[in-house]
């Protein structure tokens, strides 16, 4: 049983290493054409019924949602730069 377990752990070790290598491959490179249009947002949130707020925040910005039983509150706190917030125009 000891030998079987050692073999299984060795196989799992190899499987985990392979996954780590594959995860490393999945890096997203920045690109100027990586944007959505307001039209895209309107295609998934009906502007006649929905309001869409867009938030552009620096990395590590802390977003905190309070307990909804008390209040519907969202706070944003950045440490690396200003946060931009705007409404997606209806048309």
The reply to whether 46 sits near another protein by the rule CB under 8 A is yes
Residue 55 CB, nearest distance to another protein (Å)?
A: 4
Check residue 25 for interaction with another protein (CB under 8 A). Answer: yes
Rule CB under 8 A: is residue 5 a binding residue for another protein?
Answer: yes
Q: Is 91 in the site for another protein (CB under 8 A)?
A: no
d(CA 43, CA 63): 26
45: left (phi over 0), alpha (psi -120 to 50) or beta: beta
* Residue 48 DSSP label: T
Q: Which residues, numbered 57-76, are part of the site for another protein (CB under 8 A)?
A: 57-76
């Amino acid at each position: 049983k000891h030998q079987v377990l050692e073999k299984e752990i060795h196989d799992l070790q190899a499987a985990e290493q392979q996954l780590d290598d594959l995860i490393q491959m999945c890096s997203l490179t920045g690109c100027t054409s990586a944007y959505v249009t307001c039209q895209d947002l309107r295609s998934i949130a009906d502007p006649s019924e929905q309001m869409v707020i867009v938030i552009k925040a620096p990395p590590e910005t802390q977003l905190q949602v309070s307990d909804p039983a008390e209040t519907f509150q969202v706070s944003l706190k950045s440490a690396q730069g200003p946060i931009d917030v705007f409404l997606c125009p209806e048309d």
